[in-house]
Amino acid sequence: MSYPGMRDLKLREALIFERSREGRRGYSLPAEDLTGAESILPAELRRDGLDLPEVSEVDVVRHYTRLSTYNFSLDLGFYPLGSCTMKYNPKVNEKLVRNPQFTELHPETPARFAQGTLKIMYEMQRMLAEIGGFAACTLNPSAGAHGEYTGIGIIRSYFAKKGDTKRKKIIIPDSAHGTNPASCALNGFEVVVLESDEHGKVDLATLKSLLTDEVAGIMLTNPNTLGVFESDILEITKMVHEAGGLVYGDGANMNALLGVARPGDMGIDVLHYNLHKTFSTPHGGGGPGAGPVGVCEKLVEFLPNPFVVCENGVYSFRNSDSAMGRVRSFYGNMGVTLKAFIYILEYGREHLGETAKNAVLNANYIKACLKSYYHLKYKSDTLHEVVFDDSEMPNHVTTMDIAKALIDRGYHPPTVYFPLIVHGALMIEPTESESKETLDEFIEAMIDIAEKAKSDPENILNAPLSTAVSRPDETLAARKPVLKWVKN
């Protein structure tokens, strides 16, 4: 067996609160007499008690270093989490954004003293618009779902300004991410679910039947969550536009198209990017991400406030009265945007398209090698990811078991049980970062699991055996929620 497997040094680690000892210190502050300082505040405005740990610097460092060893991470190995685009996070990005000239810049600094960052923001607004084929782009949204919220808010503002108050519905295919309907609901839209056809795609006749003068638009992920490109995209956008609606593009799968084709050229009116997917910024165990939104010409005025403009080589912020409003404080996750900026420039116009091409090649290679071992509900051609399922697994082996068995073989599991239209889905997205050897090893592991499912199902059903923790009781966690540590 050539796949990496998993064996590690595991040190047990208590909660940081359990390491606490009264009187222990981990900080260093200038010597200053603080006696009586609290009397600056009247007694009724002062707090009582403060239950934080008392630990030394070594305690803290050991604690978090040990915790870190409990994580699987992209730098440790292959992380084929479908739809999450776990591509390599370049180290140069990490280094350069830690320059204090960026980190120590206050957001209320007058523009004349912040020209460097403003210039980067302006360039990013422009480059992201160009990459997606849009007229303009906002950097304000802090994550993909926040971008969706913003993009749908722009659509809401557009119809509000037109006085078209009847358009209260947005069509969403049943293969969509849960954030899509949630983002629509948050904007006050009613969701109309469009059932995918037998190829996992939008059926034009079904779409036609749903398009009324109450529809504000459609929210499409393209390629969709099956990795299938909506090849009728030009007809779809045309139909929606003719019915008076707008087309929202969920850019979660933009890595399949980066530098190869532009959503704006397909008639998509609004699209959010995920900088933490397509543009290599690390996901940080759950964020921070960034979700810039690109829009076509007629929607530019509705972009959230503020945005960066350039006049005679001088950069500054501007607000617009017709904007959808403000979607957060300040200007977005700038620290994240800087990393994506460096990433785009490293690839440049010559190479950016190679990302998508290699990502699509890798995904199709996995698909070709595994399709005789795992069931594919939809046979359509796919781009950057592939969705298998457990419907042909013997001995009651499920997708969850396959996921856990992959852990023992040294991989992070794929996305499981999503999209919902594939029962027991296993969604694999390799990205362009992986070498052929890595893919081959992973394929070997997957084949081993498929074979063990037949010959030695216990090996799969008991996985993972190599981790400190195995199959936590999630029902107990939800029935009797313990959401913080409480001293006995």
Partner 1 sequence: MRYLPITDSERKEMLEKIGVKSVEDLFSPLPKSVLLKKELNIPSSMSEPELEKMMDELGRENRGANMLSFLGGGCYRHFCPALVDQMISRSEFYTSYTPYQPEVSQGTLQAIFEFQTMIANLFQMDVANASMYDGATAAAEAVLMAHKIQTKRHKVLIASTINPQYLETVRTYTSFVVDRIELLEMDPATGCVAESELAKIDSDTICVLFQYPNYFGMIENLKKISALTHEAGALLIPVVTEATALGVIATPGSIDADIAVGDGQALGIPMNFGGPGVGLFTCKEKHVRKMPGRLIGETVDRNGNRCFVLTLSAREQHIKREKATSNICSNQGLMATAASIYLATMGKQGLRDVALMNLKRADYLKKRIASETACKIAFNGCNYNEFTILAPMDACELLKALGEKGILGGIAAKKYFPELDNAVIVNTTEVHTYEELDRFVDALKEIAGGAK
Partner 2 sequence: MSNYSVPSNLRFSETHEWVEDLGNNKYRIGISDFAAQHVGDITYVELPEINEDVDNESVVCNIETVKSSEDINNQISGTVVSINEMLSENPEIVGADCYGDGWLYEVQSDSDEDFKALMSADEYDKFLDEQDDE
| From candidates 5, 11, 64, 318, binder to partner 1 by CB under 8 A | 64
24 binds, among partner 2, partner 1, none (CB under 5 to 8 A by kind): partner 1
Positions 6 through 45 that interact with partner 1 (CB under 8 A): 13, 15-17, 20, 24-30, 32, 34, 37-38, 40-42, 44-45
1 sits near partner 1 (criterion: CB under 8 A): no
Q: Among 294-302, 391-399, 448-456, 467-475, which window interacts with partner 1 (CB under 8 A)?
A: 467-475
Strand order in the sheet with 215-221: 136-138, 293-295, 270-272, 246-250, 215-221, 169-173, 190-194
317 binds, among partner 1, partner 2, none (CB under 5 to 8 A by kind): none
16 binds, among partner 1, partner 2, none (CB under 5 to 8 A by kind): partner 1
CA proximity to 333, closest of 88, 143, 96, 481: 143
Contacts of 19 (CB under 8 A, 6+ apart): 53, 55, 59, 63
Q: What does the DSSP 8-state code read for residue 16? A: G
Q: Which is nearer to partner 1, 184 or 421 (CB)?
A: 184
**What value does the CA radius of gyration of the chain take, rounded to a whole number of Å?**
25
Q: Which is nearer to partner 2, 23 or 472 (CB)?
A: 472
Whole-number minimum distance, CB 368 to partner 1, in Å? 5
Supply the DSSP string of 290-347, one letter for each residue.
Answer: ---EEE-GGGGGGSPSPEEEEETTEEEEE--TTS----SSTTS-HHHHHHHHHHHHHH
CA proximity to 136, closest of 275, 257, 12, 310: 310
Whole-number minimum distance, CB 457 to partner 2, in Å? 22
What character string, x for contact with partner 1 (CB under 8 A) and - otherwise, covers 75-104?
xx--x-x--x-xxxxx-x-x-x-xxxxxxx
Whole-number minimum distance, CB 297 to partner 1, in Å? 17
Q: Which is nearer to partner 1, 167 or 283 (CB)?
A: 283
135 sits near partner 1 (criterion: CB under 8 A): no
2 binds, among partner 2, partner 1, none (CB under 5 to 8 A by kind): none
Q: Which is nearer to partner 1, 321 or 455 (CB)?
A: 321
Supply the DSSP string of 425-470, one letter for each residue.
Answer: EEEE---TT--HHHHHHHHHHHHHHHHHHHH-HHHHHT---SSSS-
Whole-number minimum distance, CB 200 to partner 1, in Å? 12
CA proximity to 346, closest of 144, 129, 139, 95: 95
Contacts of 323 (CB under 8 A, 6+ apart): 157, 301, 302, 303, 304, 305
Q: Which is nearer to partner 2, 331 or 418 (CB)?
A: 418
468 binds, among partner 1, partner 2, none (CB under 5 to 8 A by kind): partner 1
Positions 300 through 319 that interact with partner 1 (CB under 8 A): 304-305
55 sits near partner 1 (criterion: CB under 8 A): yes
Whole-number minimum distance, CB 474 to partner 2, in Å? 4
What character string, x for contact with partner 1 (CB under 8 A) and - otherwise, covers 166-185?
-----------xxx-xxxxx
Sign of CA dihedral 375, 377, 380, 382: negative
Whole-number minimum distance, CB 413 to partner 2, in Å? 16
Chain position carrying tokens 């270093």: 65
Residues forming beta bridges with residue 416, ordered by sequence position: 426
Q: Which is nearer to partner 2, 47 or 479 (CB)?
A: 479
73 sits near partner 1 (criterion: CB under 8 A): yes
Contacts of 215 (CB under 8 A, 6+ apart): 167, 169, 170, 171, 192, 240, 243, 244, 245
Task: Name the packing angle between helices 399-408 and 436-455 (round to 10°).
Answer: 120
Q: Which is nearer to partner 2, 89 or 398 (CB)?
A: 398
Contacts of 47 (CB under 8 A, 6+ apart): none
Contacts of 349 (CB under 8 A, 6+ apart): none
Query: In this structure, what token pair is assigned to residue 457?
Result: 């199902």
Chain position carrying tokens 């593009």: 249
Q: Which amino acid is at 278?
A: T
120 sits near partner 1 (criterion: CB under 8 A): yes
Q: Which is nearer to partner 1, 329 or 455 (CB)?
A: 329
Positions 391 through 450 that interact with partner 1 (CB under 8 A): 403-404, 407, 412-413, 415, 418, 432-436
Chain residues that interact with partner 2, rule: CB under 8 A: 417, 474-475, 477-479
272 binds, among partner 2, partner 1, none (CB under 5 to 8 A by kind): none
Q: How many residues bind partner 1 (CB under 8 A)?
A: 194
Q: Which is nearer to partner 2, 398 or 431 (CB)?
A: 398
Residues composing the chain:
488
Q: Which is nearer to partner 1, 114 or 449 (CB)?
A: 114
